Homo-oligomer: A and B are copies of this chain.
Amino acid sequence: MPEGLVRIGELSRRTGVPVELLRAWERRYGLLEPARTPGGFRLYDDDDVVRVLTMRANLDSGLSAAEAARATLAGTAESSSTTLGESTEELAGALERFDEAAAQTAFDRLLSVATLDTLLGDVLIPYLHDLGARWERGEISVAQEHFASNVVRGRLLGLARGWDRGAGARALLACAEGERHDLPLLIFGLALRSHGWRISYLGADTPRSSVVLAADTLLPAVVVLSGTIPGAFDPLVPDLRELADRTPLYLGGAASSVELASAAGAAHLDGDILAAARTVAERHD
């Protein structure tokens, strides 16, 4: 669209506002600041058309002329649609500056615009990855990491509430011994829940014997163990093999691999948490 400058008559025709009134609005409220021809004629651009139409809309909505003009001029782009990305950044920023309230608000906003899957896959997982990476690069302190984890953990546990109810198959979830990162496992649990599964969750750093005991009590359809520390699963292989004899067993996280899992009689879940949940859900219909 070429820069179409029009004179006042044309502006009047396009907006339906009488010429005199356009001049009055300019004079009284400074609504428009048209360029001028050498001879003094007013020249309006497309923005001016929008401005006049906005002015009219404001008048129609009941504002007085003075107020309508003020509102029109103040009408800086309304942030009508806060996108997913913005809210994510807001969440990240709030967590980093220890602002819990703002983080909760950002979380609320995310929950109100996104589905659970989107929240988990497009927001939380990338955020946690990023957090980890920056922590490794020393860009973030342990305090910030702790603070953020606790806020996120609180929200995830909130979403998890009641996740062992229903009629679906049951999964028993636990972190390997020594493993402290429970958040990925929590996310996995929520994803599996959204496939209709029932979740029993033992959380971080669960001794192998406890997993076995819980499995014997609950008789889950599958057991899923998570471990990120390299070598975390190695000493467990014999026990896992025994457990896998009785219940389908899955190993996930960086501590697992296809080879290690098969050595333990288990199946390996690769990196993508949501995909892993889908895999488990589909394989045990």
Q: B147–A116 contact, CB under 8 A?
A: no
The verdict on A158 contacting B200 (CB below 8 Å), with A1-B93, A78-B2, A166-B168 known, is no
Q: Which of B5, B10, B64, B164 contacts A101 (CB 8 A)?
A: B164
B contact residues around A154 at 8 Å (CB): 154, 157-158, 160-161
A70 vs chain B, min Cβ distance (A): 8
Which of A211-219, A240-248, A264-272 has 4 or more CB atoms under 8 Å from chain B?
Answer: A211-219
The verdict on A115 contacting B196 (CB below 8 Å), with A64-B6, A213-B141 known, is no
Q: How far is the CA of A161 from the CA of B118 in the complex (A)?
A: 11
Q: A108–B101 contact, CB under 8 A?
A: no
Q: What is the count of identical protomers in the complex?
A: 3
List which A27-76 residues lie within 8 A (CB) of chain B: 37, 41, 43, 58, 61-64, 66-68, 70-72, 74-75
A51 vs chain B, min Cβ distance (A): 12
Question: Chain B residue with minimal CB distance to A62?
Answer: B10
B contact residues around A207 at 8 Å (CB): 142
Question: Chain B residue with minimal CB distance to A212?
Answer: B143
Q: How far is the CA of A180 from the CA of B179 in the complex (A)?
A: 12
Which of A17-25, A80-88, A229-237, A250-258 has 4 or more CB atoms under 8 Å from chain B?
Answer: A80-88
A181 on the interface (CB 8 Å rule)?
A: no
A14 on the interface (CB 8 Å rule)?
A: yes
Cβ contacts A to B, 19 pairs, < 8 Å: A2-B74, A2-B93, A4-B67, A5-B63, A6-B67, A98-B164, A98-B217, A100-B164, A108-B118, A111-B114, A111-B158, A112-B158, A141-B210, A143-B217, A150-B201, A154-B160, A166-B194, A168-B196, A196-B198
